[in-house]
Amino acid sequence: MMRRIERIEYRRGLLEAGANADDLPIRAWQDSEIPEAVRRAIREEGIPDLSGVFGDREAGDPASTTS
């Protein structure tokens, strides 16, 4: 079953010691704003099929999908 991507958001940047990730600029796309190239890359890489915990659990909100 193909899951529909409803929202993508990400932050990028470098944090100095003691800095808060919430201070980094955020880029968000809602449903129809998500570029087709991004949707295609997500499908081709199998991102929705990944599961588990990766990286720092305290770094931010986990990715979520809806069926």
This model's pTM is above 0.75: no
pLDDT in tens, 13-43: 888 888 888 888 888 889 889 989 988 998 8
Q: Which of 25, 32, 31, 1 is nearest to 11 (CA)?
A: 25
Displacement of CA 42 from its chain's centroid (Å): 10
19 domain-assigned: no
Q: How many domains does the chain have?
A: 1
Maximum distance among all Cα pairs of the chain, rounded to whole angstroms: 42
CA within 13 Å, CB half, 56: 4
- Per-residue pLDDT for 2 more than 80? no
Domain span holding position 33: 1-11+25-50
Q: Examine residue 37 and state whether it is found in any structural domain, yes or no.
A: yes
Residue 17 included in any domain? no
**Has residue 62 been placed in a domain?**
no
